[in-house]
Amino acid sequence: MCLGIPMKVVEINGPEAVAEAGGIRKNVRLDLLDGVVLGDFVLIHTGYAIEKMDPEEALETLDLIKKVYRAGMTGEVEE
């Protein structure tokens, strides 16, 4: 049950929130996180937001992977 679904917070009412993804809205709990604001992306697991997702960090990671592997087309791993 590692299942964690990325969703966007669209409503907040104290410890409860409404999160949305792919047109689906779910009631979720924010007890496990501090400082969640509207528009944040969170990972939902069994009805709770367990962590925030950082879109910029995601894209940076991907850029880095692309850089590493577009280089070294000979098959050597470059750092």
Partner 1 sequence: MSEEFVDAFRDAALAKRLAEELRSLQLERPLTIMHVCGTHEHAIARAGIRSFLPEGLRLVAGPGCPVCVCPARDIDLAVSAARREGFIVATFGDMFRVPATVSSLEEERASGRDVRVIYSPLDAVRLAREHPDREVVFVAVGFETTAGPIAASLLNEPPPNLTVIPSLRLIPPALRFLLDAGIGPVEGFLLPGHVSTVLGREGYSFLESEDGAHGVIAGFEPIDILNAVIELVGMALRAEAPRVVNQYTRVVSEQGNRKARELISSVFVETDSEWRGIGAIPRSGLVPGPGFAHLDAAGRHRLEPEVPPVDVRPGCLCHEVILGKTEPETCPLFGTACTPRRPHGPCMVSSEGTCMARYQYRPMKRKP
Q: Write out the residues near partner 1 by the rule CB under 8 A.
A: 1-8, 21-22, 29, 31-34, 41, 43, 45-48, 50-55, 57-59, 61-62, 65-66, 69-70, 72, 75, 77, 79
Partners of 65 in beta bridges: none
C-beta of 27: minimal distance to partner 1 in Å? 9
As measured in angstroms, the least distance from the Cβ of 60 to partner 1 is: 8
On the 0-12 / 13-18 / 19+ scale of CB atoms within 10 A, 2 is exposed
For the CA atoms of 5, 10, 13, 16, the dihedral, rounded to the nearest 10 degrees, stands at -10
For the bound state, the minimum distance from the C-beta of residue 35 to partner 1, rounded and expressed in Å, comes to 10
